[in-house]
């Protein structure tokens, strides 16, 4: 099964702080995604990428930057964290060969105080 | 307004019973649906997908799709306590096939 690893698993920061969430996939998938999950909202797409150096905007991009440095690595950056960004963040990968099935990492729980 | 709407928000069924979950898209361009299952404290995992009218069965799980009404349903027969989870419906369009839109989910509890 596809392997997607996220770090850290938990993170606490203060309002205005700088946070980087990391994601690595080892399945040679072209597509990688960042979602946030909040009660009552399901999963909402923040950013996604179809290859190194590429970035596409999702449905809730405000306050987030992302960077895909290699095929394996996708980072989510919060440069001025706000309490509204307290959430559970999931990274996922997919590809044509997997019929666009998303393979999710274990998630990062972020608290912004 | 969410483009993918699920009902009910929560559902309780007895062990051995039938669970029926619904999902509708308000985007007429949607052509593909997925069902994901997320156990408490875990990440979502794909359960089934469907893009043709009709039904698809895998073990105790059956998915129906009516493309005219953009409605899909997931039915779980002989429900087990291990089926207790959040069930998420997702949809995509041909122009945004790599961009899945998720509903807010149905929380299923199977009572022993």
Note the pLDDT of residue B93.
82
Q: Is A90 in CB contact (< 8 Å) with chain B?
A: yes
Question: pLDDT digit string (tens) for A40-83?
Answer: 788 999 999 999 999 999 999 999 999 999 999 999 999 999 99
Q: What is the pLDDT of residue A2?
A: 61
The share of chain B scoring above pLDDT 70, in percent, equals 96
| List of chain B residues whose C-beta atoms are within 8 Å of the C-beta of residue A51 | none
Distances in Å between the Cα of A35 and the Cα atoms of A47, A82, A105 are 8, 17, 11
Mean pLDDT of successive 10-residue segments in chain B (112 residues)?
88 98 92 94 94 92 94 98 97 78 95 94
Alpha carbon of A53 to those of A12, A48, A86, B111: distances in Å?
Answer: 29, 11, 27, 48
Considering only CB atoms, which chain A residues are within 8 Å of B42? 106
Predicted confidence at residue B99, as pLDDT, reads 80
């Amino acid at each position: 099964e596809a392997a997607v690893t996220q770090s850290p698993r938990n993170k606490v920061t203060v309002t205005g702080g700088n946070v980087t969430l990391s994601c690595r996939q080892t399945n040679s998938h072209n597509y990688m995604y960042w979602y946030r999950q909040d009660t009552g909202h399901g999963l909402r797409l923040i950013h996604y990428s179809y290859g190194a150096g590429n970035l596409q905007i999702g449905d809730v991009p405000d306050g987030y930057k992302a960077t895909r440095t290699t095929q394996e690595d996708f980072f989510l950056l919060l440069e001025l964290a706000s309490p509204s960004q307290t959430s559970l963040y999931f990274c996922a990968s997919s590809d044509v060969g997997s019929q666009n099935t998303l393979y999710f990492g274990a998630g990062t729980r972020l608290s912004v105080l | 307004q969410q483009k993918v709407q699920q009902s009910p928000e929560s559902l309780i069924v007895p062990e051995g019973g039938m669970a029926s979950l619904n999902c509708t898209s308000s985007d007429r361009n949607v052509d593909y649906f997925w069902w994901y299952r997320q156990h408490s404290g875990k990440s979502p995992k794909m359960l089934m997908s469907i893009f043709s009218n009709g039904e698809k069965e895998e073990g105790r799980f059956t998915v129906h799709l009516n493309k005219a009404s953009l409605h899909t349903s997931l039915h779980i027969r002989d429900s087990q306590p291990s089926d207790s989870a959040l069930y998420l419906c997702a949809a995509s369009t041909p122009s945004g096939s790599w961009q899945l839109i998720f509903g807010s989910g149905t929380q299923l509890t199977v009572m022993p």
